[in-house]
Amino acid sequence: MALTDLSAKVVLVDIEGTTTSITFVHDVLFPYAKANARQYLSETWETDDTKQIVEELKQLPQYTEYASTLETRPEINAAHIADFSRYLIEKDLKVTPLKTLQGHIWAKGYASGELKGHVYEDVAVAFQAWSDAGLRIAVYSSGSVAAQKLIFQHSIAGDLLPLLSAHFDTHVGHKQQTESYTRIAESLEVDPQHVLFLTDVPEEASAARDAGMQTVLLARPGNAPLTAEHTSSFPVVTNFVALQSLKQP
Ligand SMILES: CSCCC(=O)C(=O)COP(=O)(O)O
Ligand SMILES: [Mg+2]
């Protein structure tokens, strides 16, 4: 089954584990956010945007859990919120206000050149080929839309942003919920059956498939191993080029 046989009009890509290595996210992006959270929060503490992020962080159930581990009642300041952000990052919690904050922090690193977005070497080639073939390319990641734009604009393969036509983050819903994919298809004004979703997470593929999308799993180096049940339930490829000669499971 070649990509063209999938009758896709939109290719919807996940980022971490799909276009980009998990190692880059965990060993470069997360440490950068942890190291720079306090400074960012101090510098922007009085802005409406940061006030909103802080409010949303404090509403998270994990905040009550975190605060209960502290010996004294904390003062709500940049240092305390930075500590809580680091706690969330260490647990790899993909919660919306943390992802918004991370995107803002990474912006400085990309602007200075300290950060360059990792993409696998087949990604730019595939994006160009899909775009040339008239397919739209959209992104759905737990990373904020701002963070998605940064990783592709400042990628090691150059500026890939012009090839992308839409971005979705957890504001549309969580990635393991079917309704999120229904909303994405509605927003793209396309029948879900004409969307091909590429991800490394079987539960995300399952949710997208339940919404009527076509789904393919990526088995990139360093991704969590797929079980026999996963590989019998979904087509699996190791890179985007392999989509051209995809075999049904
Ligand atoms: C948008 S780049 C940062 C990656 C990130 O923070 C993240 O949570 C990626 O999750 P994904 O849904 O792309 O697997
Ligand atoms: Mg992923």
Q: What is the pLDDT of residues 34-45, one digit of tens each?
A: 999 999 999 999
Q: Does position 1 have pLDDT exceeding 50, yes or no?
A: no
Q: Does position 199 have pLDDT exceeding 50, yes or no?
A: yes
Q: Does position 78 have pLDDT exceeding 70, yes or no?
A: yes
Question: Given this model, what pLDDT does residue 157 score?
Answer: 98
Rg of the Cα trace of the chain? 19
User: Which residue's CA is the closest to the ligand 1 atom numbered 10?
Assistant: 142
Question: Given this model, what pLDDT does residue 56 score?
Answer: 97
Between CA 116 and CA 151 the distance in angstroms is: 7
Among 15, 153, 181, the mutation site with the greatest number of ligand 1 atoms within 8 A of its Cβ is 15
Between CA 204 and CA 142 the distance in angstroms is: 11
Q: If you average pLDDT over residues 70-87, what whole number do you get?
A: 94
Question: Given this model, what pLDDT does residue 181 score?
Answer: 98
Q: Which of 24, 43, 28, 112 is nearest to 81 (CA)?
A: 43
Ligand 2 centroid vs 72 CA: distance in angstroms?
A: 37
Q: Which of 208, 197, 199 is nearest to 226 (CA)?
A: 199
- pLDDT tens figures, 138-148: 999 999 999 99
Q: Is 16 known as a binding-site position? A: yes
Q: Is 71 known as a binding-site position? A: no
Between CA 72 and CA 62 the distance in angstroms is: 17
Ligand 1 atom at minimum distance from 144 CA: 1
Ligand 1 atom at minimum distance from 201 CA: 14
Question: Given this model, what pLDDT does residue 249 score?
Answer: 46
- pLDDT tens figures, 83-104: 999 999 999 999 999 999 999 9
Question: Given this model, what pLDDT does residue 33 score?
Answer: 98
* Beta carbons within 8 Å of 56's beta carbon, 6+ residues apart: 96, 97, 100
